[in-house]
Structure 1
Amino acid sequence: MSLSKVLTLALVVAVARASPVLNNPSRVLRRDPPAPSAYPLGDACGHEWQYLNFNPDDDTDKAHLQKLHDVICSGEMRAISSYGRASARDVLAPYKRYFPESDEEDDFQTHVKDVLGLIAGTSSTDGAIGTVVGTFVVDNLDFAANDPDEADCTDEGTLAYTLTDQLDSREKIHFCDPSWTRGSAGDVDCASLDPFPSTKMDSFSRIALHEMTHYSSVGPETSLAQQIQDVKNADGEPAYDPPRVHGLLDPEQDDNPAVTEINADSYAWMSLDAWISRKCAADPSGNNWASFFTQSPPPYEPAE
């Protein structure tokens, strides 16, 4: 299952209040599914993802299309994935909060670096993002509703998912209504943050990166050579959000470092942690930015 969920009840309630159902695309089964298209509101940037079942004449769809376009073409996705990659390469504090250092059995740092590098792309001349992202499809329909074995946007707290649609056999991403309430990482108020990474710094780009890592053309096509999933903590709940992601690694909690490299939210939160650290650091020179957060996330609360 490739899902992003909000696990903190207070956050779920806040999102529910802030995000009424803005657009409820039809779930009618499609006999002749349409083909994905490039950005329909203007010029696409290099390697921008593809779009499916959006109505460019609908105000809500237009706003969502603009958000999806901007997160790639403004450079935000490349920024957070690149800083995550650098943190893995240099084994900086953001990396060490969520992933173990390499050992004789597993080259964790290389695996994480390669996954994020594939998404980020190699340079600013390589489009706005990595080539692989140009093959991704964002579907405006809640297509998981057609599969009784999969959770969809009616499941409480679901922000997005990446699945292969049974009807058109395409692997696609769908963003649920609560995800659209997330802002840009660049708009995060540094003064409001805790001394540890938390959901206060969450962004739409973090959700997008989480879903990108799930694609079958990402993990299996890098040195990781595995599909990136949603791993569960020791209490059986998915490892979403900083406390639970950190808890996978923490020897005082799950002490399960081997699974961190196949957990989507580990990549997403580590990368956002790195970018926010760079943005908010008083002295961002060299690698000084990596010490912005002085504490690890607090222990997660086990489910009863």
Structure 2
Amino acid sequence: HSISRFKSVDFNYVIRYRSRVGTAHEKNYSLSTNAILYAYSYENIFQLPLFNFSDADIGDYRKMNAFPFNSFFWDNNDEYKINHQNDANTLFFIDSNSITNLSLFTKSNRIKRGLFEHPFISWTGKRIFIRESGIDTLLKVRTDFKSDKYLLSVKYYVDYCSYNGIIHIETSTILDPYQSFYALPIDAKANCFINLYFDYCELQRRNLENVLNKNRLNYSGFKQAYFSEMEKIQLERDNFIKAVERGANRKAMEMYNAEVKSKLGIDNIALFKPYEE
């Protein structure tokens, strides 16, 4: 029996807008373009990235901006093209005046904060700051246990890519803002604790990537190694949270801070000064 398969779908976009409203140069514009979404290479199925979204209601746009750009995938998968103007297309996309998926969230001279907000936070080495929770959040967290008044949900994006016998593992450490909250006072200890924890998760990611690269030749073995390592990682995180007590245990904080400083070159205690009167 023949199998029905999706082949293609055409899109026609029309935008009408008015520019310089209320001035002598006011003018109406109408722009249109056509696009085609074409399915190809059915025999080569991609392995979807491993990443668990906490909320099923998160839209596709926000899901896509959670993922880092995988240059290996796009450099090695030559997508179907409907014309031969490859050079012209490339010049258009690399022009500084063009806004693409690589620049939507990037600061520039023209767009100070990026065209769109980046809700998911990928680890980059920059320090992060969490605003104190509003009244609504504080009312929802009705508990006397401080351990229930905060949650730092740090996840790993793991992408298994193969092309012509070459296997590439792409990973990233990501803070999930939809699952994270901190309904406690934000002070120097809190900021130091939050950033040290994020850094510690980054160290775990690097260890995870090393293990996955050793098991990458077989996808089933790769996934088995992934789930096994994630169990170990969760135990290590639980030990971290319990030991540092949100920054109150100075000795434990200094121990983890020394590890992060040694491996990442970041001294959170020196930056935030949580133990100075």
Q: Please give the TM-score of this superposition, normalised by the length of structure 1.
A: 0.26
Kindly indicate whether structure 1 or structure 2 has the higher relative contact order, using CA contacts under 8 Å at least 6 residues apart.
1
Q: Please give the TM-score of this superposition, normalised by the length of structure 2.
A: 0.27
Larger Rg: 2
Normalized per residue, which structure has more helix? Answer: 1
Normalized per residue, which structure has more strand? Answer: 2
